[in-house]
Amino acid sequence: MGLQKYVSDIKTVYSSNTVVYNRLSDLEFLNTMFGPENMARAKEQMGDKAKGMDIQNFISDRDTCSFDMPPIGNIALFIEEREEPKTVKIVSDGGGKMAFKLWIQVLPVNDSQCKLRVTLHIELNMMMKMMIGKKLDQGINQIADGIAQIPYGRI
């Protein structure tokens, strides 16, 4: 097993770093997207991007969230560290077959714009790295794109 690191491209967010940080450092906001009453609408809005996305039993509070994602199983996340207003470190509990850390870094550009980068640290053996390494490279950028596209001023 070896610790692998996947880093997204730097994304532009059209909101201040303080607003973005405040939103991302409170996992309760995820209920607005993944709560049962909003999941169907989110899938409809995402269209083809939502294929295979089957999030069930989603719950969250300020520091934690958990959900079921067949066939992976239950995934529980919690905020390990907050460094206001620039970094949120989220870790998994190791359930869902893989333990990982997700770091979200936010840096100001000006009062209404910031830059964002997402880094994934995950333990993978050589076989898993060969099987899913390229998908994780793509996936980390998709996660960063999704985070960058959140309408921060309207939530």
Which domains can be identified in the chain, with CATH numbers?
Answer: 2-154 (3.30.530.20)
User: 104 forms bridges with which residues in the sheet?
Assistant: 88, 118
Residue 144 contacts residue 116 (beta carbons within 8 Å): yes
Strand extents, DSSP E, 28-86? 56-60, 64-69, 73-83
Question: Using CA atoms, how far apart are residues 132 and 15, in angstroms rounded to an integer?
Answer: 33
What's the whole-number average pLDDT of the chain?
Answer: 88
pLDDT at res. 50? 58
Picking from 15, 26, 20, the residue whose alpha carbon sits closest to that of residue 105 is 20
Please tell me the pTM assigned to this model.
0.85
pLDDT at res. 137? 92
pLDDT in tens, 114-152: 999 999 999 888 888 889 889 999 999 999 999 999 988
pLDDT in tens, 96-119: 567 899 999 999 999 999 999 999
